[in-house]
Amino acid sequence: FPVTIRFPTVLESPNRFGIEIEVENFKYDEEELPSYFWGATNDSSLKVSGIEFVSRILDYNKVEEALEALFEMKPFAKKQATFGPRTSIHIHSNALWMNSMQQVMPLLFIYLLSEDLMYSFIEPHRRKNIFCVKTKETDYLRNCFMNETITAGNTYKYAGFNLASLFAHGTVEFRMLEGTYDVEKILTWIGFIHKFQQYAQNMPMGLDFKREVKIPTIASEIIKDTFDDYFSSSQIEQSISSGIEYFRYLVAYRDWE
């Protein structure tokens, strides 16, 4: 594949996540915090007692338990805390499992095919937020492909699909989801990302991936199965077509034959 990605790789399970939840008007007793799952820090980007809760590294099967423990805290349970336009939820998807640095490409590919659906799933006020810009509305990936490398210096932190996090944390960060009390929505969102991980993990590189880019049979089936309960067939097909077109635009300057 024409792009080199320079970040450290360690063999690990892909099924691990980090969660950052921003909230305002949150006052609590330190003893309430379920510290076996969560840490907390003040966030200067928030107003009026703004807190960012940062999870420990979570196996996928512990995500629901961790969220339930957090939302049992009194300010959440009594709906005293505020999720407003400034608050968001960021999901860090483990990338240290990659045994080839090129394996970020299948993850990027299936994400791009799903991007329009992901942005339709979140609240409208997040869709044009400057801190989680749509990948297809930025130039950073095109520049990466033209320079044949993805490095910390040519990524863009405030893309909704944040590859700068590869170098800072060994993760890919999904920044788009709004702050919300809806635990089921958060779990559904992480479920989307989990399926993207599995696709990237199982996709062989080389000719197999080039064939998949030309006719994305596997990715299309996963996306249709993942989003079928939330969007119409035409919306899903449109997102897939848009993503294929953009990915091909990224590599158009190279001979893929």
pLDDT, one tens digit for every residue, the chain (257 residues): 334 444 344 435 668 999 999 999 888 878 889 999 999 988 777 778 889 999 999 999 999 999 999 999 998 988 888 998 889 999 999 988 776 567 788 999 999 999 999 999 999 999 989 999 999 888 888 888 877 777 778 888 999 999 999 888 889 999 999 999 999 999 999 999 999 999 998 888 877 888 988 999 999 999 999 999 999 999 999 999 999 999 988 887 554 33
Q: For the chain, first and last CA: distance in Å?
A: 12
- Residue pair 14/177 in contact (Cβ under 8 Å)? The answer is no
For the record, the structure tokens of 179 come out as 């702050």
Q: What is the DSSP string of 28-66?
A: --GGGS-TTTEEEEE-TTS-SS-EEEEEPPEEGGGHHHH
Question: With contact defined as beta carbons under 8 Å apart, do 51 and 23 qualify?
Answer: yes
What residues contact residue 16 under an 8 Å CB cut-off, 6+ apart?
A: 57, 58, 59, 60, 94, 97
